[in-house]
Amino acid sequence: MEVLKRLFEQHFHAPVERVEPLQGQLGGSGRKIIRLSSERLSAIGILYNVREENVAFLEFSRHFRRHGLPVPEIYAEDLNQGAYLEQDFGNTTLFEFLSDHRNGATIAPEAVAAYRDVVAVLPRFQVEAGRDLNYKVCYPRSSFDRQSIAWDLNYFKYYFLRLAGIPFNEQALETDFSRLTKFLLSASRDYFLYRDFQSRNIMLRDGRPFFLDYQGGRKGALQYDIASLLYDAKADLPPDLRQQLLDHYLDSLAGFLDPDRPAFMQYYYAYVYVRIMQALGAYGFRGFYERKEHFLQSVPYALKNIRWLLHNVELPIALPTLMEAFKSMVASDKLQGLTMEAGKAEKLRVRIFSFSFHRGLPQDDTGNGGGFVFDGRSLPNPGREERFKTLTGNDAPVAEYLDQQESVHQFLASATSLVDASVSTYQRRGFRHLMVSFGCTGGQHRSVYLAEQLAKHLRAKDGVEVVVHHREQEQLNP
């Protein structure tokens, strides 16, 4: 953290006044993402210890900016410390904008327009900026080649199919994988492949798209990135909109080269399938293997896309074992159970913690990176009175004592107002998790009381599931 503060102060000649961790290590990459700000300035700091990937991102960013592409300016870097500072584009991702502007399958014109802007920019990355890019800095591969495809297919096989209990004949599946790989590699692959071109890696600011997270880019086929965006699982774009956006992409591509549309479409759905398999491998590894259940919430959406493909697309090559595996996935009771769990998760789950500041903040294992943290140490402390020392905020004498303190009521009213506003917004936007933490000196009296009072308030709301954890008390009484 100190290295980022130093970079900020050296670049802006202003002290860091606020530090805000963002999604941190959500995606499993291990990168820490932090917003640093002074009174009028802000920047995004990255801490990551894979030098080759950092070098790729920094060089790509500077190259794309030379081509006038909307990517972050790099303010400062210290590669020996695995740190760099980049431009801050705010908080609104394309995915969040889409979530705010849809009602089920009905997507508002503003969101459609945002997607059209995004797909119109993609050919500039792939063709215009891809022509003179230094592919020698790509990491881990310089092209989406046989080895890259094998990694993705095996990721899917071992971390999704096996862990989901989907039966398959190993040798027959390998035969299909070999046939699919040969087919994919017969497409023209002399373009920049962004690799993770999806709605959470695109920011919207003042109505314009800005692009992030292309550090895994390499040389490859045009079809992969547009497939990544249009079949982004949780975005759940309707089929007719996917087709409209694909047509708009191809029209935009025609401004940079003369695309052979039939040839493009011959390979397109094979790349859709391989991208979905790559994503499912990631969901399986993070969800089934690492037990990070929030990754499994995307599986039903990916299965929905596979179901549509099975009914509407016929590939130009035969992949009988792979297609049977897909049919088994769609029919799987275990995976249908995930769909049912996702349905149950329509409720907003609010986890409320009490804790001691001496032992640090509670950790968020849902993947959202944390939430509200309220500091109750300014309130009257029952722990200073002998009669309360063996009690907690759950005991009536302590609760009665705190009930009599006007400052406690004011504090709780302010915290409740903030949380209520977020609950309403989260429910409207379809978010599933909110974390609220109350800290005090020992995590025994004030924080426990405040957590219980908020829980009581929220349990009266529709569509809210409340879970309370008194961290210090649970560790004393496991």
**Least trusted range by pLDDT, from 72-81, 122-131, 392-401, 423-432:** 423-432
CATH for 260: 3.90.1200.10
399/281 same-domain check: no
How many angstroms separate the CA atoms of 299 and 446, rounded? 41
101/247 same-domain check: yes
130/256 same-domain check: yes
Q: Residue 7's pLDDT band (boundaries 50, 70, 90)?
A: very high
How many angstroms separate the CA atoms of 396 and 400, rounded? 6
The pLDDT, as a whole number, for residue 339 is 53
Q: Which two tokens stand for residue 83?
A: 């740190």
The proportion of the chain whose per-residue pLDDT surpasses 90, expressed as a percent, equals 80
Average confidence (pLDDT) over 367-376: 86
**Least trusted range by pLDDT, from 28-32, 204-208, 287-291, 295-299:** 28-32
The pLDDT, as a whole number, for residue 26 is 40
264/391 same-domain check: no
**Least trusted range by pLDDT, from 224-228, 252-256, 474-478:** 474-478
Q: Residue 29's pLDDT band (boundaries 50, 70, 90)?
A: low
- Backbone region of residue 369 per phi and psi (left: phi > 0; alpha: psi in -120 to 50; beta: other values): left
CATH for 16: 3.30.200.20
The pLDDT, as a whole number, for residue 25 is 37
Q: Which two tokens stand for residue 79?
A: 């590669």
pLDDT at residue 76 above 90?
yes
How many angstroms separate the CA atoms of 198 and 181, rounded? 23
**Least trusted range by pLDDT, from 46-55, 190-199, 232-241, 285-294:** 285-294
Mean pLDDT of the chain: 92
β-bridge pairing 102-103 and 106-107: antiparallel
145/290 same-domain check: yes
How many angstroms separate the CA atoms of 407 and 409, rounded? 5
Q: What is the pLDDT of residues 383-420, one digit of tens each?
A: 999 999 999 999 999 999 999 999 999 999 999 999 99
According to DSSP, the residues that pair with 375 across neighbouring strands are 439
pLDDT at residue 178 above 90?
yes
The pLDDT, as a whole number, for residue 23 is 59
Between 340 and 231, the more confident residue is 231
* Peptide bond connecting 316 to the previous residue in cis, omega within 30 degrees of 0: no
Q: Indicate the number of domains in the chain.
A: 3
25/115 same-domain check: no
Cβ–Cβ under 8 Å, residues 214 and 60: yes
147/193 same-domain check: yes
The pLDDT, as a whole number, for residue 28 is 52
171/278 same-domain check: yes
According to DSSP, the residues that pair with 351 across neighbouring strands are 435, 467
112/64 same-domain check: no
Q: Give the residue numbers spanning the domain of 272.
A: 94-344
296/334 same-domain check: yes
The residue out of 285, 315, 344 marking a domain boundary is: 344
The residue out of 54, 86, 118 marking a domain boundary is: 86
Query: What are the CB-based long-range contacts (under 8 Å, 24+) for 175-181?
Result: 175/321, 176/319, 176/320, 176/321, 176/322, 177/150, 177/153, 177/322, 179/317, 179/318, 179/319, 180/149, 180/153, 180/270, 180/273, 180/274, 180/317, 180/319, 180/322, 181/146, 181/149, 181/150, 181/153
112/78 same-domain check: no
**Least trusted range by pLDDT, from 180-184, 261-265, 343-347, 463-467:** 343-347
User: Given CA atoms 264, 270, 275, 278 in this order, what sign does their dihedral have?
Assistant: negative
C-alpha separations of 7 from 73, 74, 79, 128, 171 in Å = 14, 11, 12, 32, 53
The residue out of 53, 86, 119 marking a domain boundary is: 86
The proportion of the chain whose per-residue pLDDT surpasses 70, expressed as a percent, equals 96
How many angstroms separate the CA atoms of 151 and 170, rounded? 16
The pLDDT, as a whole number, for residue 118 is 98
Between 70 and 29, the more confident residue is 70
Average confidence (pLDDT) over 346-372: 85
22/40 same-domain check: yes
Average confidence (pLDDT) over 316-320: 98
- The amino acid at residue 404 is Q
333 burial type by CB count under 10 A (0-12 exposed, 13-18 middle, 19+ buried): exposed
Between 396 and 31, the more confident residue is 396
pLDDT at residue 452 above 90?
yes
